[in-house]
Every structure is written in C-alpha cells, then in structure tokens.
C-alpha cells in the first residue's frame, strides 16, 4: 500500500526498537507507525509547531514525542 521507500527503513528500525523492548512498549502499533515519521527527525527540525503550554516554537519531534510541549515544559511536567 505504501510505496514510500522511507517507510521501509522505518519498518526495519521499528523492529529493532521492539526487539530492544524499549520505550515503545506503551505505544500501540498504530501510534508507532504515525510517530515513526517524526521520531527520526532532529529536535530542531520542522519547527512548525507551538508548545501547548508556553507557545514556544517546537519541532515536529517535540510535538509527537514530548506531548506537544517544548523541552522546558516537558521536563517540568514529567520530572
């Protein structure tokens, strides 16, 4: 269905993650599929989003992996 070659790479790395039994455990397979697209982006890539708490510019990575918050707010929320 999906002929994007990038998706193939993601598929492989996804398997690696599962084998390591890492942090992906809490995510459903569907979430992982959707999020893998941004997982490999750098923290400062695609700064097209705003922190939901302080409205600071955040990357697509932060949006998906830091609960839509900038690093600061994310750390305050979870640590």
The answer to whether residue 54 forms part of the interface with Zn ion (CB under 5 A) is yes
Q: Which is nearer to Zn ion, 41 or 56 (CB)?
A: 56
With CB under 5 A as the contact rule, the residue among 10, 36, 49, 51 that binds Zn ion is 51
For residue 47, the Cα-to-chain-centroid distance in whole angstroms is 13
- Cα dist from 52 to 34, 36, 49, 71, 79, whole Å: 20, 21, 9, 12, 18
With CB under 5 A as the contact rule, the residue among 53, 65, 67, 68 that binds Zn ion is 53
Overall size of the chain counted in residues: 79
Tell me which residues touch Zn ion (CB under 5 A): 51, 53-54, 56, 70, 73
């Amino acid at each position: 269905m999906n002929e994007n070659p990038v998706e193939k790479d993601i598929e492989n790395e996804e398997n690696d993650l599962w084998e390591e039994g890492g942090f992906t455990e809490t995510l459903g397979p569907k979430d992982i599929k959707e999020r893998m697209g941004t997982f490999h982006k750098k923290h400062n890539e695609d700064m097209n989003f705003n922190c939901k708490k302080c409205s600071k510019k955040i990357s697509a990575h932060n949006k998906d992996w830091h609960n839509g918050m900038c690093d600061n707010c994310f750390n305050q929320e979870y640590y």
